[in-house]
Structure 1
Amino acid sequence: MKHVLIYIYFVIFVFHTSRGQNQTNVPKDNINYNIKDTVTSYGPNRMIRNVKQDRNGNILFAASWGGVFRYDGKSFTNIASKIGSRRYWDVLEDRGGNLWFASTDSGVYYYNGKTFQHFTTREGLASNGVFKIYEDKTGIIWFGTGGGISRYDGQSFRNLTTKDGLPNNDIRTIMEDKIGKLWIATGDGPCFYDGKTFTVLKNKDGKAFNNVRSIIEDKKGNIWLGGSDGLWRYDGGTFTSITQQFIGHIYEDNKGNIWTTGEVKPNRYWALSRYDQKSLYDKTPTVTVIMSTEKMLCGILEANDGSIWFGSLYGVYRYDGKIITDFKSAAGQK
């Protein structure tokens, strides 16, 4: 337990110390198209921060220093083998079927299925430390970086920083709501952007939320915030506290249940939890802890078959409603 906590705190320390930096010592491109993609029967045992699904139903996830993987139901393919080792953090499939890989040490990679294109501060990115990739309803790609927001229209970048009204250049997540506003978590709390101005969101005590890591909009239009101040729901006028435990990621499934990963006090374990849709508006919503572990738990995805995938400090898991499968070894998949 002690050694696990030390490692977790080390990871968090590296994460925080690198976010605000606009690195200039970007690793030299060493894309080798002669290298074949690595294919294995089990996933990596590296940190998986975010999990996504492509249009073909494949599961995509970025493994820090491990690569960017695609799981087709049978095997794991490292589709970043040709790039080499990077601190991958996020992956996105855009509406054209192209893939984007975010790294915290070398900017962004664009992959059209055949060739790669590398974007860094040289090409206009706000920072080479990229932690979030988001595509809005119009097809614009937004990047949350350690140096502000970068907006890419397919031809050039436009950067938004504190000079434009951002409360902080340390960007943690980006989300577009149903009316087109962008919700952004920064180092000084969340804000929303209407295309012209940034408005900082304050809690019911008039203070900014601390260390927000995840923002989603549910089917009813409520905004959910997760971070060091716990899990909150915002209906546009009123804030409701759901839990005060640290929340790292939030996800709404097709049934309207809210899933979270975060710490479980007082033991400082991490948990994958589900808040039942039928009780979300009760004074005390019904919550079920699906899994608790000493390992840090990260991003969440509901796949097309209804299974829940979630990342961790040491790989990726799948919950089918009954069984949790650990993919980092052949034994874990039995």
Structure 2
Amino acid sequence: MKYAHVYALLLMLVFYTSCRGQNKTDLPKGTIKSENKEVITSHGPNRITRNIIQDRKGNIWIASWEGIFRYDGKSFTNITSKVSSARFFSVLEDRKGNLWFGSIGSGVYYYDGKSFQNFTTRDGLLNNDVGSIYEDKKGNIWFGVFGGASRYDGKSFWNYIINGDAMNEDRTGKTFPNRPPYEVNSIIEDKTGKFWFATRGNTFVYDGKTFTVFTHENKPFKNVRSIIEDKKGNIWLGGPDGLWCYDGSTFTNFTQKFVGYIYEDKKGNIWTSSERDNSQAWASSESFNDLSRVLSGYSANTAAWVLTRYDGKSLSNKKPTVTEITNKPMIFGILEGDKGSIWFGAVDGVYRYDGSTITSFNDTEAKK
């Protein structure tokens, strides 16, 4: 089985403006709030875990298909089980300590620690399938969605739409109630203040006025799934064409295996979730029914993806030191906790690697 097919199809399945003057979309004052009703559990999620962060208090927040979980070091709490049945893809703590949760189909949930506020297309969000969330240097919150991106300044949404091979600011107040093509998988602001948008189509660089297609050897970087800037200012891109590093003038390719997520730890090591074999098949034309059939054949013993660490001290070498940590059918988000452990999401929940041992926090492990 070629698991690049599965990864592509999985993301397709689960991901299902005005910006000037009078054209911006103002949020209604009466947006409904839902009071928090937490549910404490003995375990973390049992299903796909897409994103993991740690807040300023040391709590681990987990975005999964079963909801948003908080782990305080002792127990797990499903924060959203009484609020929404949506599958969650992304989570962010903003500079004020508030939490933002991106869902598939139900828009964005804002959580101040006491209650929730739900933003959707009716409030000006470009699309209700939210795969990524990012806070810029000015405190604006960006949402990567199907069809483009939305920027929230605390009062209004300002939208940016992908139109084929181009991306532009929208000034008409347009939103997408259904799912258009070309979602934004990842957003960052680099040290120079430019924004990078990794999409299913082209990768775009935005200087605040113009979107430019990012290219290598006159070819656009396409289908980038994850993009980060490291401590040195290098840009890392991962997708079906492998793992790439761009230092502002030179491109370096570290692997041609499919890379789904990139993370830099405190020591400057680069962690990735990637294919283990060399299969580069990409099946964006496969149907959702095909995906369901393929996933039904998944086995817990199937090892198609790997959590990999690239040693930061050897990254300047042609052959850096690379360590494969563990194999899973699929690996998603990665986080380094404040105690140095590496957390990562998988098809069957969340795991923690302490440098020697890997611990699972799903229901199966809790019952042992």
TM-score by length of 2: 0.81
The code of the aligned residue for 1:48 comes to: T
Deviation at residue 96 of structure 1 after TM alignment = 1.1
Structure 2 counterpart of 1:137: 137
Q: Does residue 1:280 correspond to 2:315, yes or no?
A: yes
Cα pair distance change 1:45/1:235, threshold 3 Å: same
Question: Residue by residue, what CA displacement relative to the aligned partner does 1:200-248 show, whole Å, maximum 9, x if unpaired?
Answer: 1112x32112310011111111100000100000011111111000000
Deviation at residue 32 of structure 1 after TM alignment = 6.0
The code of the aligned residue for 2:94 comes to: D
Structure 1 counterpart of 2:51: 50
The code of the aligned residue for 1:313 comes to: V
Q: Does residue 1:325 correspond to 2:359, yes or no?
A: yes
Structure 2 counterpart of 1:79: 79
Paired-residue identity, %:
57
The code of the aligned residue for 2:269 comes to: N
SS in 1 for 2:13: helix
Structure 2 counterpart of 1:292: 327
Structure 2 counterpart of 1:310: 344
The code of the aligned residue for 2:52 comes to: V
Question: Residue by residue, what CA displacement relative to the aligned partner does 1:121-152 show, whole Å, maximum 9, x if unpaired?
Answer: 11001111111111111110001000211010
Query: Which consecutive residues of structure 1, in runs of 5 or more, have no partner in the other structure?
Result: 19-28
Of structures 1 and 2, the one scoring higher in RCO (CA 8 A, sep 6+) is 2
The code of the aligned residue for 1:146 comes to: F
SS in 2 for 1:14: helix
Structure 1 counterpart of 2:235: 223
Aligned equivalent of 1:200, options 200, 210, 213: 213
Q: Which shifted more, 160-169 or 277-286?
A: 160-169
Aligned 1:235-274 pairs, distance under 5 A: 235-266=247-278, 269-274=304-309
SS in 1 for 2:313: helix
Q: Is this contact kept in 2: 1:30–1:84, CA < 8 A?
A: no
Structure 2 counterpart of 1:24: none
Structure 2 counterpart of 1:116: 116
The code of the aligned residue for 2:207 comes to: D
Q: Is this contact kept in 2: 1:87–1:104, CA < 8 A?
A: yes
Q: Give the Cα separation in 2 of the matches to 1:100 and 1:79.
A: 12
Q: Give the Cα separation in 1 of the matches to 2:32 and 2:80.
A: 12
Q: Does residue 1:184 correspond to 2:197, yes or no?
A: yes
Deviation at residue 12 of structure 1 after TM alignment = 3.6
Cα pair distance change 1:179/1:120, threshold 3 Å: same
Query: Which consecutive residues of structure 2, in runs of 5 or more, have no partner in the other structure?
Result: 17-30, 169-180, 280-302
Q: Is this contact kept in 2: 1:149–1:169, CA < 8 A?
A: no
Cα pair distance change 1:154/1:9, threshold 3 Å: closer
Cα pair distance change 1:144/1:270, threshold 3 Å: same
